């Protein structure tokens, strides 16, 4: 079996090993592949592995030997799923490999904002503590999470992990979720009646739902206007869940306290984003998933997916 990895670098920049994959067949690994090079590099391949490289209907039609596409991620929107099934191509993904890493990033952003860790480090290095007349120096308010309300949109694996951590901090949790009110009550979570209720009541709002037509720009100008001026928005889900211009405007006007985002609508933001220059907006470059531990789980599962397919028992398959 010929296996081609078209964009390996983000999952494995060199600190992990592809050796178990080489045991499954003839393997070619490319760090990155431009769209115009996909067909040439994948010609003759039985299986391709991709992260952000798009496998379109046109690509499939140009690769008659292709029988398997393994997505090196949980989201699989880079593959035309209906076309894959029409061509008899099995598509798999890697679910739940980064749950705790993403949940950790939510609280990295939240604690940085509420305790101003990066801000105070900068102030100390600038000499402000050294010049202070008191034993401590503080010039921005610090916030305790205990007793605050964490609002969560989407209670899948990551949303539930965030809920558990929030509860450990003594926060009250309310959520928009497909789970019943009775199920959530058993978990100590209050079910929000609407997005508007959630936005209005949350001290911290964290987004963990899939991107779909009904969740595009769910954090829009109208809902952001409902938030408390002390509220914090966290987005580690998908960039387009947030109307970036509306959020930037809300931050500039002081209508909400701060935002912590790991994802943007355009990645990388070559044309900038309204959020990059917005005050009190803390941005990490889509790395919540990328701990060494999560990436190791990602590679291990992706390789097991290929092995299972080769043995005629595919796992983690995506249905049309």
Query: Do both 168 and 262 map to the same domain?
Result: yes
Distance CA 237, CA 251 (A): 20
Mean pLDDT in residue range 230-235: 98
Beta pairing partners, 50: 71
Query: Do both 222 and 255 map to the same domain?
Result: yes
Length of the chain (residues): 320
Q: Give a yes or no: residue 316 inside a domain.
A: no
User: What's residue 98's pLDDT?
Assistant: 97
Are the beta carbons of 209 and 192 closer than 8 angstroms? no
Q: Give a yes or no: residue 241 inside a domain.
A: yes
User: What's residue 129's pLDDT?
Assistant: 97
* Segments forming the whole domain that contains residue 45: 2-97+292-310
Q: How far from 101 is each of 141, 161, 238, 276, 293, CA to CA, in Å?
A: 28, 10, 16, 24, 8
Supply the CATH number for residue 123's domain.
Answer: 3.40.50.720
Query: Do both 131 and 268 map to the same domain?
Result: yes
Q: Give a yes or no: residue 65 inside a domain.
A: yes
Confidence check: pLDDT of 58 > 90: yes
Are the beta carbons of 178 and 167 closer than 8 angstroms? no
Q: Is 313 exposed, middle or buried (0-12, 13-18, 19+ CB in 10 A)?
A: exposed
Q: What percent of the chain has pLDDT over 90?
A: 99
Q: Give a yes or no: residue 25 inside a domain.
A: yes
**Mean pLDDT computed over every residue of the chain:** 97
Mean pLDDT in residue range 43-70: 98
Instruction: Give the model confidence (pLDDT) of 202-215 as tens digits.
Output: 999 999 999 999 99
Q: Give a yes or no: residue 318 inside a domain.
A: no
User: What's residue 308's pLDDT?
Assistant: 98
Q: Give a yes or no: residue 200 inside a domain.
A: yes
Q: Give a yes or no: residue 133 inside a domain.
A: yes
Confidence check: pLDDT of 319 > 90: no
Instruction: Give the model confidence (pLDDT) of 235-262 as tens digits.
Output: 999 999 999 999 999 999 999 999 999 9
Instruction: Give the model confidence (pLDDT) of 108-136 as tens digits.
Output: 999 999 999 999 999 999 999 999 999 99
Confidence check: pLDDT of 320 > 90: no
Domain count of the fold of the chain: 2
User: What's residue 121's pLDDT?
Assistant: 97
Residues carrying an active site annotation: 238, 267, 286
Query: Do both 74 and 115 map to the same domain?
Result: no
Confidence check: pLDDT of 32 > 90: yes
Q: What is the pTM of this model?
A: 0.94
Instruction: Give the model confidence (pLDDT) of 169-214 as tens digits.
Output: 999 999 999 999 999 999 999 999 999 999 999 999 999 999 999 9
């Amino acid at each position: 079996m010929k296996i081609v990895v078209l964009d390996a670098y983000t999952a494995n920049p060199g600190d992990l090993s592809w050796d178990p994959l080489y045991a499954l067949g003839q393997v070619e690994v490319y760090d990155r592949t431009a769209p115009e090079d996909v067909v040439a590099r994948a010609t003759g391949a039985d299986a391709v592995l991709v992260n952000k490289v798009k496998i379109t209907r046109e690509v499939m039609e140009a690769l008659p030997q292709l029988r398997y596409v393994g997505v090196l991620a949980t989201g699989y929107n880079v593959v035309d799923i209906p076309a894959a099934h029409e061509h008899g191509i099995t598509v798999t993904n890697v679910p739940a490999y980064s749950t705790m890493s993403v949940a950790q990033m939510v609280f990295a952003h939240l604690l940085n904002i509420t305790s101003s860790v990066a801000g105070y480090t900068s102030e100390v290095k600038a000499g402000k503590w050294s010049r202070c007349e008191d034993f401590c120096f503080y010039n921005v308010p610090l916030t305790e999470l205990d007793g605050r309300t964490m609002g969560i949109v989407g209670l899948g694996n990551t949303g539930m992990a965030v809920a558990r951590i929030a509860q450990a901090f003594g926060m009250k949790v309310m959520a928009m979720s497909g789970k019943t009110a009775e199920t959530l009550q058993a978990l100590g979570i209050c079910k929000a009646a609407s997005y508007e209720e959630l936005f209005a009541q949350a001290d911290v709002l964290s987004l963990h739902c899939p991107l779909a037509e009904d969740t595009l720009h769910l954090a829009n100008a109208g809902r952001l206007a409902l938030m408390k001026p002390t509220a914090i928005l966290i987005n580690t889900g998908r960039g387009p869940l947030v109307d970036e211009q509306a959020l930037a405007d809300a931050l500039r006007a002081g209508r909400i306290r701060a935002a912590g985002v790991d994802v943007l609508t355009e990645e990388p933001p070559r044309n900038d984003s309204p959020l990059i220059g917005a005050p009190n907006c803390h941005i990490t470059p889509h790395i919540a998933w990328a701990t060494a531990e999560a990436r190791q789980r990602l590679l291990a599962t992706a390789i097991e997916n290929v092995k299972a397919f080769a043995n005629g028992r595919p796992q983690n398959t995506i249905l049309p």
